[in-house]
Structure 1
Amino acid sequence: MMTMPTEPDLKIAQANTAIARIDPVRALQQILAGQELAFLDVREDGEIAAGHPFFTVACPYSRLETEVAALVPRTTVPVLLLDGGDGIADRAAAALIDMNYTQVSVVAGGFPGWCRAGLSWGGGAQLSAQARAEMPVAGAAVDSIDADTLVCWQASGQTVCLVDCSAEEDFSQATVPGARWLPTLELACRLPALTDAETCVVLSSVGNNDALTGASLLALSGFKGPVALLEDGSCGWALSGRDLARGNRSVALPELDRPAQVNVRAAATDVLSSHHVPLIGHRGIDALRCDPHRTTFLFDIRSPAEAKADPLRAFTCVPGSNLIAATAQWIGVRRAQVVLADDLGLRGALAAIWLRQLGHDVHVALVDDDLRSMRAVPGAAFRIEAPECSARDALHAVWSGKGRFLDLRPSTAFRAGHVPGSTWSVRPRLAALAADPRRPFYIIADGGPGAGLATLDLLNFGHGISHVIVGGFEELKAIGAPVESSPGVPSRRAAIDSAINDAPNYQSILKGGDDAMRQFLAWEKALLGQLDHPEQAEFGT
């Protein structure tokens, strides 16, 4: 836990002289060298979404100290930091060194330098996992059908089982009418509970990637029934002039009866054996965790309901479909050791194959009493106690000219409503604020640790002691503070925190209509072509 310092902290200035710098080409060589390494992009979400190198892990400076320990739990692993060429990586490096990370380097020139070196990059989120989905799996060739063909099949009375493999949040927003939600890693286990072996299964998703992943996993599992992909998924359906079903409620995953469980276990045994995926028990896991030279992640990949009913304290609960679709959200170290806990084994085996193709060393652990008895290894928790004040005291100070409001909420929230006279900012931009120790900042935030981290930086920049307003914006409104909106402030350029304007997410695609859908589909299909051959080889397909 960190407490508020009483004088400017000089650690950043002292650490800058010791921070190693590495040119982008050499950085890429290290990334592809086959050793454990964390490649962290410390820019904000909007900047990252607009474009970033493949294989980076998003760890924005505004949240760095509170997120890095989960993403990079071993402090002796080499860490490469990428910024926007604006010096933020130096601040991030100083913070990591202060947290006892021992091998921290900064990519010289940041992302602009990476681009000038002619190295590959792409826009959007989770590029490596998304590009991997576009790569074929041996034996996974599946026919595609367009929306017109699906309608003809249905009109002719042909029975189909239409399954949407998208993330649950995306399915809830919009899907092809009649689709049943079943995430990618659950398909092989639970399809038999939905349909028979003769019925054609049609896989859909927002675009193509999740459906392609589902088809690949079905092929790896040995599924023998007929499978087709709905070309371009929900976007293709809408572009054919048909309405999507919106506001959907996902139902519980189909239950597996005893015969079905026996079949899933048998399939798991075959996949584990044929793909040489190792099983591991609690003693082996302890040995992995005790290795000081390797980074180990433990995940319980069962559904949230299963994990809640039968908790594994030593494991982080992440549904397997989420883990393979957004691996870098939980694993910040390339070529790490990963243990996947599963009850019947098939989900673990399939996820292991997928993560292994991303370069990780993966084991599967079958849930038993030994796993249940394992305890979590205490992490390096980062907490900060920042000075606080009431909304009423803050309002009085600002109105009497003895303070200023600094709004650190998301830019979208600020545009929708804020206290007049407030300045919007984000942690990487605090150095640009005019210092006036006689008028300290009263910080409006939505909770979380970001405001506390900002108070440390503000002190370093000569702003004096800042205070976080208890209850934030809502409390200020409740005591009668005026509110105004500003649709154009901050500008799109200034709102580096927000990925809404740049990243292809389903909400913005739906709002953008046909053009946005076409752009999203083009983005999906272009990902693989943006990778150089050495980078494509990293996937090991």
Structure 2
Amino acid sequence: MSVTPQDIRNALLARSEIALIDLREEADFARAHPLFAAQIPLRRLEAEARWRLPRADALVVVYDNGEGLVEPALAQLAALGFTNAHALQGGLGGWRDAGFELFEDVNSYSKAFGELVEHNRHTPSLPAPDVQALIDEKADIAVLDARRFDEYATMSIPGGVSTPGAELVLRARAVAPDPDTTIIVNCAGRTRSIIGAQSLINAGLPNKVFALRNGTIGWTLAGQGLDTGQQRRAPEPEGDFADEARAKARAVSYRAGVRHIGWAELQHLRGQTDRTLYQYDVRLPEVFGAGHLPGFRNAQGGQLVQETDHFAPVRGARIVLADDLGPRADMTASWLAQLGWEVLVLDWPGSVALETGPDGAPPPRGSEGRYKRPYEGTDNAAAAMQAYLDWEYGLVEQLRRDGTHGFYVI
């Protein structure tokens, strides 16, 4: 049986569970794919499918662009126990012929959502030369880098402090306790800068908050130097700042319509075998490894919002988040809800025995078939970086044309 492009569209609009899987390598996927497609190359299907698609009877639709990957993939999925896997009629060409939108790059719908947030909320930003001028005059500013720590260590804004996205509301006041300190949030491009800055604004921090416009790409295009090998990390808050972060983040989650549950209620959700359930602990990897709740995987919150298609390929599934302190899960959940997910936050149960170590995720992919992002590393061509920015600027209009996203912005 094959599934038509219109069937896919109907499922997305109805918010039915569906996983649309692109079987090509990442570099090919990045050239063109439907908005909510997730990418699992055929050579990785056995390693990744049961992890990323946890319910074996969920609707899984696979496609390629005429490379002959679909039949072997369906055979592999059947061998792995998937009972509702089908081909996309006509593959990628069929989607194009139906007149539906094709998106470029990776993590496309999260990036498009970031552009929608800036468009709707007019998230304040500063261009790289203005931030450099503030640094030169030793102004009272704090630069918070919202990327993963390894990205920050590779290259960072001078004076920047690693504060991965979900940590921002929790830790920003520990870095900038004076409300007169201006906070500037950066990432490599645009999305995590926008979402990070808007997180602090949504939480009502008393400081002035700006995104660094176009991140380290904009910094490099402006001819300004980046630091490498930095190790600065934002400290966790204590006392009043911690209590303030918990209260503010919980208020934001309620505004976004997030529900909060206890351990017994989670067991009820786990028992509903007709729904896909993703369970993520959104703390930093080293904290997760030291002790986490049974059944939870790790995805530090900022990356879960940035790479939702990777962590939760089944669109329409439920997502439950956990965080022993609260603000990281509440802020992450607020964004996932706006991205159209049914998301709940688990109130951390003090009586449940914790597990240690990694979560059992498949080993990471190697370099084969990988798409070289124009914003990673230190040797990117200026033309490629500018083209990437130009692409991001057009995503709001492309979302409008596509019409399936269901995003909203609080």
1:92-131 alignment, distance < 5 Å? 92-131=73-112
Corresponding residue for 1:244?
226
1:119-139 Cα shifts (integer Å, max 9, x gaps): 111221111111111112798
Tell me whether 1:499 sits opposite 2:367 in the alignment: no
Return the offset for 1:80. Answer: 1.1
Q: Figure out how many residues of one structure are paired with residues of the other and give that number.
A: 404
What is the rounded CA distance, in whole Å, between the counterparts of 2:136 and 2:375 in structure 1?
Answer: 32
**Inter-CA distance 499–51: structure 2 relative to 1 (3 Å threshold):** farther
Return the offset for 1:157. Answer: 4.2
Give the letter for the 2:197 counterpart.
A
Tell me whether 1:512 sits opposite 2:380 in the alignment: yes
- Normalization by structure 1: what TM-score? 0.70
Unaligned runs of 5+ in 2: none
Range with greater deviation from structure 2 (100-109 or 294-303): 100-109
Contact 1:206–1:233 under 8 Å retained in 2: yes
What is the rounded CA distance, in whole Å, between the counterparts of 2:160 and 2:49 in structure 1?
Answer: 38
Secondary structure, aligned partner of 1:279? strand
- Normalization by structure 2: what TM-score? 0.90
Corresponding residue for 1:359?
340
Return the offset for 1:288. Answer: 0.5
Tell me whether 1:177 sits opposite 2:158 in the alignment: yes
Tell me whether 1:23 sits opposite 2:4 in the alignment: yes
Contact 1:189–1:346 under 8 Å retained in 2: yes
Give the letter for the 2:391 counterpart.
W
Contact 1:302–1:319 under 8 Å retained in 2: yes
Contact 2:19–2:61 under 8 Å retained in 1: yes
Q: Aligned to 1:316, which of 281, 297, 304?
A: 297
Return the offset for 1:171. Answer: 1.9
Secondary structure, aligned partner of 1:512? coil
Q: Aligned to 1:285, which of 262, 266, 281?
A: 266
Range with greater deviation from structure 2 (190-199 or 95-104): 95-104
Return the offset for 1:190. Answer: 0.3
Contact 2:62–2:88 under 8 Å retained in 1: yes
Corresponding residue for 2:72?
91
What is the rounded CA distance, in whole Å, between the counterparts of 1:536 and 1:23 in structure 2?
Answer: 16
Corresponding residue for 2:353?
372
Percentage identity across aligned positions? 28
Contact 2:263–2:347 under 8 Å retained in 1: no
1:48-100 Cα shifts (integer Å, max 9, x gaps): 12221110111111010221111111111111111122331122112212222
Secondary structure, aligned partner of 2:316? coil
**Inter-CA distance 48–367: structure 2 relative to 1 (3 Å threshold):** same
Corresponding residue for 2:117?
136
Q: Aligned to 2:398, which of 516, 525, 530?
A: 530
What is the rounded CA distance, in whole Å, between the counterparts of 1:356 and 1:29 in structure 2?
Answer: 21
Return the offset for 1:30. Answer: 2.5
**Inter-CA distance 156–511: structure 2 relative to 1 (3 Å threshold):** closer
Give the letter for the 2:376 counterpart.
Y
Return the offset for 1:175. Answer: 2.1
Tell me whether 1:38 sits opposite 2:19 in the alignment: yes
Contact 1:140–1:220 under 8 Å retained in 2: no
1:10-35 Cα shifts (integer Å, max 9, x gaps): xxxxxxxxxx1123233222233211
Contact 1:301–1:319 under 8 Å retained in 2: yes
Tell me whether 1:266 sits opposite 2:253 in the alignment: no
Q: Aligned to 1:73, which of 31, 54, 64?
A: 54
Tell me whether 1:539 sits opposite 2:410 in the alignment: no
Corresponding residue for 1:466?
none
Return the offset for 1:371. Answer: 4.2
What is the rounded CA distance, in whole Å, between the counterparts of 2:354 and 2:162 in structure 1?
Answer: 33
What is the rounded CA distance, in whole Å, between the counterparts of 1:269 and 1:511 in structure 2?
Answer: 41
Give the letter for the 1:229 counterpart.
A
Root-mean-square deviation (CA, aligned residues, Å) is: 2.6
Contact 2:157–2:226 under 8 Å retained in 1: yes
What is the rounded CA distance, in whole Å, between the counterparts of 2:340 and 2:124 in structure 1?
Answer: 29
Q: Aligned to 1:202, which of 184, 191, 213?
A: 184
